[in-house]
C-alpha cells in the first residue's frame, strides 16, 4: 500500500526522489560537505560556498528528481575542483566540467530511462554552467512545460507576464517574434510559454 512520506523536510528528503543506487552514490559524494535544503531562491537553484575551511552546499527545496541530481552534483563538482585547484581555475572551466562528468557518469548506469540517460551522457561531454539553458535537459526535467521551441511557426503565444507574440523565424537558437504593435523581439527557444 502506498504510504505518503510525512516526515518533515530534512537535508536528505529530496534524495527520496532518486533511484536508491543514485542516492547512495550521492550520499558518498557528500561526505565531509555541509549540505542544506533551503527555501527556493529566484536567481539560483543551488549554491556552493567554501568558508571557515568548510564546504557548504545549499539546494532549493522545490527541486526533485533529475533536476535535484543535476543541481546537487554540479555543486559537488565545485567542491572537488576547489580541493584540487583552489581558486586557480575558472569556476565552470574544463577542470570543473571534468569533475562534473566524473561524478555524473556512475549515476547514469541504467538507473533512469535509457533515452534520458543517453541525453544526459551527451550533455555531460561539455556541461554548461546552467543546465536549464539546454533545451534537451529542460525537456527531461520539466516534461510538461511548454517552451517557445514547441510553438508552431506563425502561432500566437503568451509569455509569463501575459504579453502576446507571434512566432516568426529562427535565428540560431533564438526566434524572431512579433507583438501586437508589430515590434520584433528576439526570444530564446527555451523560454517558457503558453499557447
Ligand atoms: Zn556552478
What is the 128 CA–ligand 1 centroid distance (Å)?
9
Q: According to the model, what pLDDT value does residue 7 have?
A: 45
What is the 183 CA–ligand 1 centroid distance (Å)?
36
The domain locations on the chain are: 15-141, 148-188
Class of domain 15-141: alpha beta
> Does residue 106 carry a pLDDT above 60?
yes
What is the 93 CA–ligand 1 centroid distance (Å)?
10
> Does residue 25 carry a pLDDT above 50?
yes
pLDDT digits (tens, 9 = 90+) for 65-96: 999 999 999 999 999 999 999 989 999 999 99
What is the 16 CA–ligand 1 centroid distance (Å)?
23
What is the 96 CA–ligand 1 centroid distance (Å)?
9
What is the 45 CA–ligand 1 centroid distance (Å)?
10
Mean pLDDT in the chain?
91
> Does residue 9 carry a pLDDT above 80?
no
pLDDT digits (tens, 9 = 90+) for 112-146: 999 999 999 999 999 998 887 788 888 888 888 89
Burial of 72 (0-12, 13-18, 19+ CB in 10 A): buried
> Does residue 101 carry a pLDDT above 60?
yes
Amino acid at each position: 500500500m502506498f504510504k505518503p512520506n510525512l516526515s518533515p523536510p530534512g537535508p536528505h528528503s529530496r534524495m527520496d526522489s532518486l533511484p536508491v543506487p543514485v542516492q547512495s552514490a550521492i550520499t558518498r559524494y557528500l561526505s565531509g560537505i555541509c549540505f542544506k535544503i533551503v527555501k527556493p531562491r529566484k536567481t539560483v537553484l543551488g549554491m556552493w560556498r567554501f568558508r571557515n575551511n568548510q564546504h557548504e552546499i545549499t539546494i532549493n527545496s522545490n527541486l526533485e528528481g533529475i533536476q535535484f541530481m543535476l543541481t546537487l552534483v554540479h555543486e559537488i563538482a565545485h567542491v572537488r575542483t576547489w580541493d584540487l585547484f583552489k581558486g586557480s581555475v575558472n569556476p565552470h572551466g574544463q577542470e570543473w566540467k571534468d569533475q562534473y562528468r566524473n561524478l555524473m557518469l556512475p549515476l547514469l548506469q541504467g538507473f533512469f530511462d535509457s533515452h534520458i540517460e543517453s541525453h544526459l551522457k551527451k550533455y555531460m561531454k561539455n556541461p554548461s554552467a546552467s543546465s536549464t539553458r539546454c533545451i534537451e535537459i529542460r525537456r527531461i526535467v520539466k516534461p510538461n512545460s511548454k517552451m517557445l521551441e514547441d510553438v508552431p511557426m506563425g502561432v500566437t503565444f503568451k509569455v509569463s507576464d501575459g504579453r502576446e507574440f507571434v512566432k516568426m523565424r529562427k535565428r540560431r537558437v533564438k526566434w524572431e517574434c512579433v507583438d501586437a504593435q508589430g515590434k520584433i523581439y528576439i526570444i530564446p527557444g527555451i523560454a517558457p510559454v503558453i499557447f
